[in-house]
Structure formats: structure tokens, C-alpha cells
């Protein structure tokens, strides 16, 4: 798994423990079988450090304050619905909630959002919605 969110999801499945010491060193602890995942996390330690608080449950949400917002929506790499955000670590289109779900609940795919009584009118960008009266 090369993208950060997928890598963190794999770490969760492998039950790896991620911590940052008071001097800023990233520590990855777990079973020997998870060593390839641990090495991949350590190879991306700057990106992993930014997500550790969410991964460990010390923050309720990922910090995407500095992410890129797209003018034209692209398909989310996780759910396939149009989105305007790029994952700050991998620059791939993703909803923030899709990324959070992937980390917290590995293997669970966030379904495309629809509301009761809503019909999708797939226009040029797939974002036009019609709501019946």
C-alpha cells in the first residue's frame, strides 16, 4: 500500500501502535509479521507524524487545514464520488471523511452520499442534484 491513508489502515489492521516521543521521534511497535508495514510507515515519518494524533484517538479528526481545494471536482479515490479536496500527503482526490473512515475502520468503504428522495442528475461534473418537491 503506497498511499498514507491506506498504509495507516494496514497499520490498524496489523494492530501496530504508533507513538511520538517527547523529543519528536516516531515509534512503531507491533508483531514481527507487521515489520514491512512498520518500515513503510517509518519511510514516510513526516507524513505519519501529522496523522498520529488521529490514528491514536487523541484527535477526533484529521488535520487537513492546509490541503488543496480543487476548482473542478475529481473522483474520490476511496468512494468514487466527486470531491474538491486533495489528500495533503499523497495529493490524491479524497473526501476527508473517506480518509478518516479508512483509517478508523479498515476495509469499510464509505458509500457515496445520497439523501432520501434525491435523484442524481449526472451532468458535466456529476454534482447537480434535483430534489423532488
Tell me the pLDDT tens digit for each residue of 47-101. 998 889 888 888 888 888 889 999 999 999 989 999 999 998 889 999 999 999 8
Does any domain span residue 11?
yes
φ, ψ (nearest 5 deg) of residue 69: -105, 125
Q: Looking at the domain assignment, is residue 67 inside a domain?
A: yes
Establish if 17 belongs to a structural domain.
yes
Q: Count structural domains, the chain.
A: 1
Parent domain of 14: 4-104
What is the grid cell recorded at 133? 418537491
Residue 62 placed within a domain? yes
Residue 71 included in any domain: yes
pTM: 0.69
Look at residue 113 and tell me if it is in a domain.
Answer: no
Considering the domain boundaries, does residue 133 fall inside one? no
Q: Is residue 127 part of a domain?
A: no
Convert the pLDDT of each residue in 4-29 to its tens digit. 999 999 999 999 999 999 998 999 99
Amino acid at each position: 500500500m503506497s498511499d498514507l491513508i491506506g498504509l495507516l489502515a494496514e497499520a490498524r489492521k496489523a494492530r501496530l501502535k504508533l507513538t511520538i516521543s517527547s523529543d519528536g521521534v516516531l515509534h512503531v511497535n507491533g508483531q514481527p509479521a507487521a515489520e514491512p508495514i512498520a518500515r513503510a510507515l517509518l519511510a514516510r515519518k513526516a507524513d505519519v507524524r501529522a496523522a498520529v494524533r488521529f490514528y491514536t484517538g487523541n484527535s477526533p479528526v484529521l488535520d487537513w487545514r492546509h490541503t488543496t481545494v480543487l476548482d473542478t471536482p475529481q473522483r474520490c479515490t476511496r468512494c468514487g464520488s466527486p470531491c474538491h479536496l486533495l489528500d495533503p500527503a499523497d495529493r490524491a482526490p479524497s473526501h476527508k471523511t473517506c480518509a478518516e473512515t479508512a483509517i478508523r475502520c479498515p476495509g469499510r468503504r464509505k458509500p457515496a452520499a445520497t439523501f432520501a428522495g434525491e435523484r442524481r442528475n449526472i451532468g458535466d461534473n456529476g454534482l447537480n442534484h434535483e430534489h423532488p418537491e
